[in-house]
């Protein structure tokens, strides 16, 4: 039987020597939410999983959620293109994350505007 997701989350914190306060400051998760997850009072919701995966950037999401596969994601599955190096790839990923955040924000604002217009 696979260990519960809460145990895998605890493993991440312990093996990376990360304390709850530092994680919560950096990720924006409340200390209470993290405590409830780590003490197995609650299971993490989608937002909690997103925050954890954003903080532990090399973690395999499939492993975290299901326990299947390796703990670390396998970068070798996506080979570097000619002339590309890891630093460039990380820079491109950061740019995409920023763009994605902006698009989500824009989408949210547009949805709010649609609701306002519907209620007129």
Query: What pLDDT is recorded for position 75?
Result: 47
Give the total number of structural domains in the chain.
2
**pLDDT at position 66 over 80:** yes
Same-domain pairing of 58 and 113 = no
State the pLDDT confidence band at 76, using cuts at 50, 70 and 90.
very low
What is the pLDDT of the chain when averaged over all its residues? 83
Same-domain pairing of 34 and 57 = yes
- Yes or no: say if 37 and 43 are a contact pair by the CB < 8 Å rule: yes
State the pLDDT confidence band at 77, using cuts at 50, 70 and 90.
very low
Q: Please give, one letter per residue, the 3-state secondary structure of the chain.
A: CCCCHHHHHHHHHHHCCCCHHHHHHHHCCCHHHHHHHHCCCCCCCHHHHHHHHHHCCCECHHHHHHCCCCCECCHHHCCCCCCCCHHHHHHHHHHHHHHHHHHHHHHHHHHHHHHHHHCC
Same-domain pairing of 12 and 62 = yes
**pLDDT at position 119 over 60:** yes
Structural domain range at position 97: 79-118
**pLDDT at position 84 over 60:** no
Query: What pLDDT is recorded for position 107?
Result: 81
pLDDT 10s digits, 2-41: 678 999 999 999 999 999 999 999 999 999 999 999 999 9
What CATH code is carried by the domain that includes residue 55? 1.10.260.40
């Amino acid at each position: 039987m696979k260990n519960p997701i809460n145990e895998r989350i605890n493993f991440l914190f312990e093996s990376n020597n990360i304390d709850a306060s530092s994680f919560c400051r950096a990720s924006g998760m409340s200390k209470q939410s993290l405590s409830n997850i780590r003490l197995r009072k609650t299971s993490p919701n989608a937002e909690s999983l997103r925050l954890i995966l954003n903080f532990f950037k090399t973690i395999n999401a499939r492993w975290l959620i299901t326990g299947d596969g390796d703990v670390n994601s396998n970068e070798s599955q996506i080979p570097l293109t000619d002339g590309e190096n890891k630093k460039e790839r990380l820079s491109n990923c950061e740019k995409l994350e920023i763009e994605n955040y902006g698009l989500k924000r824009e989408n949210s604002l547009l949805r709010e505007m649609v609701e306002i217009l519907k209620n007129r």
